[in-house]
Protein backbone atom coordinates (compact mmCIF):
# COMPACT_ATOMS: atom_id res chain seq x y z
CA UNK A 1 0.00 0.00 0.00
CA UNK A 2 1.33 3.46 -0.93
CA UNK A 3 1.81 6.11 1.73
CA UNK A 4 -0.29 9.25 1.28
CA UNK A 5 2.77 11.25 0.16
CA UNK A 6 3.74 8.59 -2.41
CA UNK A 7 0.19 8.71 -3.73
CA UNK A 8 0.46 12.48 -4.26
CA UNK A 9 3.68 11.95 -6.25
CA UNK A 10 2.09 9.16 -8.28
CA UNK A 11 -1.02 11.10 -9.25
CA UNK A 12 0.21 14.58 -10.27
CA UNK A 13 3.41 15.75 -11.97
CA UNK A 14 4.09 18.64 -9.57
CA UNK A 15 7.23 18.48 -7.43
CA UNK A 16 8.85 20.73 -4.82
CA UNK A 17 9.25 23.60 -4.72
CA UNK A 18 5.96 23.87 -6.64
CA UNK A 19 4.03 21.13 -4.85
CA UNK A 20 1.53 22.49 -2.31
CA UNK A 21 -0.07 19.26 -1.08
CA UNK A 22 1.60 17.15 1.61
CA UNK A 23 -0.88 14.29 1.91
CA UNK A 24 -4.30 12.99 0.94
CA UNK A 25 -6.60 12.82 3.95
CA UNK A 26 -9.80 11.47 2.40
CA UNK A 27 -11.48 11.10 -0.97
CA UNK A 28 -14.39 9.58 -2.80
CA UNK A 29 -15.42 9.67 -6.46
CA UNK A 30 -16.54 13.32 -6.36
CA UNK A 31 -14.52 15.01 -3.62
CA UNK A 32 -11.15 15.03 -1.90
CA UNK A 33 -9.49 16.46 1.19
CA UNK A 34 -5.75 17.05 1.39
CA UNK A 35 -3.43 18.66 3.91
CA UNK A 36 -0.50 21.05 3.74
CA UNK A 37 1.60 22.39 6.59
CA UNK A 38 3.20 25.74 5.77
CA UNK A 39 6.90 25.84 6.63
CA UNK A 40 8.73 29.07 7.50
CA UNK A 41 11.65 28.10 5.23
CA UNK A 42 9.54 28.13 2.03
CA UNK A 43 11.14 30.58 -0.43
CA UNK A 44 8.01 32.66 -1.08
CA UNK A 45 7.82 33.65 2.60
CA UNK A 46 11.22 35.31 2.35
CA UNK A 47 9.98 37.96 -0.05
CA UNK A 48 6.21 38.08 0.49
CA UNK A 49 5.88 40.61 3.31
CA UNK A 50 9.33 40.17 4.91
CA UNK A 51 9.05 40.15 8.68
CA UNK A 52 5.32 39.44 8.40
CA UNK A 53 5.17 36.38 6.10
CA UNK A 54 1.86 35.66 4.38
CA UNK A 55 1.14 32.79 1.98
CA UNK A 56 0.48 34.36 -1.45
CA UNK A 57 -3.14 34.01 -2.57
CA UNK A 58 -2.09 32.63 -5.94
CA UNK A 59 -0.25 29.78 -4.17
CA UNK A 60 -3.28 29.07 -1.99
CA UNK A 61 -5.27 28.76 -5.22
CA UNK A 62 -2.58 26.48 -6.64
CA UNK A 63 -2.91 24.18 -3.60
CA UNK A 64 -6.64 23.86 -4.34
CA UNK A 65 -5.99 23.28 -8.06
CA UNK A 66 -3.42 20.55 -7.27
CA UNK A 67 -5.92 18.93 -4.91
CA UNK A 68 -8.49 18.94 -7.72
CA UNK A 69 -5.94 17.41 -10.09
CA UNK A 70 -5.31 14.59 -7.61
CA UNK A 71 -9.07 13.97 -7.48
CA UNK A 72 -9.30 13.77 -11.29
CA UNK A 73 -6.28 11.49 -11.50
CA UNK A 74 -7.97 9.17 -9.04
CA UNK A 75 -10.85 8.88 -11.44
CA UNK A 76 -8.44 7.47 -14.07
CA UNK A 77 -7.55 4.46 -11.92
CA UNK A 78 -5.01 6.61 -10.05
CA UNK A 79 -2.42 6.54 -12.83
CA UNK A 80 -2.14 9.85 -14.59
CA UNK A 81 0.28 8.47 -17.25
CA UNK A 82 0.40 10.80 -20.27
CA UNK A 83 -2.42 12.96 -18.96
CA UNK A 84 -1.54 16.46 -17.80
CA UNK A 85 -3.92 18.32 -15.49
CA UNK A 86 -4.51 21.77 -17.00
CA UNK A 87 -6.37 24.65 -15.39
CA UNK A 88 -9.13 25.89 -17.69
CA UNK A 89 -11.07 28.38 -15.57
CA UNK A 90 -10.89 30.36 -12.34
CA UNK A 91 -13.98 32.04 -10.94
CA UNK A 92 -14.98 33.78 -7.77
CA UNK A 93 -11.81 33.40 -5.70
CA UNK A 94 -12.51 34.84 -2.26
CA UNK A 95 -9.92 35.28 0.45
CA UNK A 96 -11.30 35.41 3.98
CA UNK A 97 -8.20 35.10 6.19
CA UNK A 98 -4.41 35.03 5.99
CA UNK A 99 -2.34 31.84 5.98
CA UNK A 100 1.05 32.01 7.70
CA UNK A 101 4.03 29.73 8.36
CA UNK A 102 3.08 27.00 10.81
CA UNK A 103 -0.56 26.87 9.71
CA UNK A 104 -1.91 23.44 8.83
CA UNK A 105 -4.18 23.84 5.83
CA UNK A 106 -7.07 21.50 5.09
CA UNK A 107 -7.75 21.72 1.37
CA UNK A 108 -10.97 20.47 -0.21
CA UNK A 109 -12.13 20.14 -3.80
CA UNK A 110 -15.40 18.73 -5.08
CA UNK A 111 -16.66 18.21 -8.61
CA UNK A 112 -19.78 20.24 -9.35
CA UNK A 113 -20.13 19.37 -13.04
CA UNK A 114 -18.45 17.37 -15.79
CA UNK A 115 -18.67 18.11 -19.52
CA UNK A 116 -16.62 15.75 -21.64
CA UNK A 117 -12.97 16.03 -20.62
CA UNK A 118 -13.65 19.17 -18.54
CA UNK A 119 -14.46 19.04 -14.85
CA UNK A 120 -15.69 22.01 -12.86
CA UNK A 121 -14.94 22.10 -9.16
CA UNK A 122 -15.43 24.13 -6.02
CA UNK A 123 -12.52 24.32 -3.63
CA UNK A 124 -11.77 25.69 -0.20
CA UNK A 125 -9.03 25.96 2.40
CA UNK A 126 -9.48 26.10 6.16
CA UNK A 127 -6.94 26.22 8.96
CA UNK A 128 -8.49 24.97 12.18
CA UNK A 129 -11.78 26.85 12.48
CA UNK A 130 -10.59 29.67 10.21
CA UNK A 131 -11.83 29.75 6.59
CA UNK A 132 -8.93 30.93 4.45
CA UNK A 133 -10.40 30.97 0.93
CA UNK A 134 -12.84 29.55 -1.61
CA UNK A 135 -12.62 29.28 -5.40
CA UNK A 136 -14.53 27.76 -8.32
CA UNK A 137 -12.35 26.36 -11.09
CA UNK A 138 -12.16 24.09 -14.09
CA UNK A 139 -9.63 21.40 -14.93
CA UNK A 140 -9.07 19.16 -17.92
CA UNK A 141 -6.81 16.13 -18.21
CA UNK A 142 -5.02 16.63 -21.52
CA UNK A 143 -3.32 13.74 -23.31
CA UNK A 144 0.29 14.86 -23.87
CA UNK A 145 0.59 12.72 -26.98
CA UNK A 146 -2.53 14.19 -28.60
CA UNK A 147 -1.67 17.78 -27.60
CA UNK A 148 1.62 17.60 -29.50
CA UNK A 149 -0.06 16.57 -32.76
Instruction: List the catalytic residues.
Output: 48
Cβ atoms of 85 and 73 within 8 Å: the answer is: yes
Between CA 4 and CA 25 the distance in angstroms is 8
Distance of CA 118 to the CA centre of its chain: 17
Between CA 37 and CA 54 the distance in angstroms is 13
88 C-beta neighbours (distance < 10 Å), count: 14
For residues 118, 121, 127 and 130, what is the CA-based torsion angle, rounded to 10 degrees? 150
Sheet arrangement for strand 23-27 = 23-27, 31-37, 104-115, 118-127, 130-143, 83-95
Amino acid sequence: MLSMNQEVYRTIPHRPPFLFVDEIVDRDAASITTRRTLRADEAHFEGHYPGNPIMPGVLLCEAVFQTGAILLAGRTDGEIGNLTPVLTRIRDARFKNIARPGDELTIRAAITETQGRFSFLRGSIVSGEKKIMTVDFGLALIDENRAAS
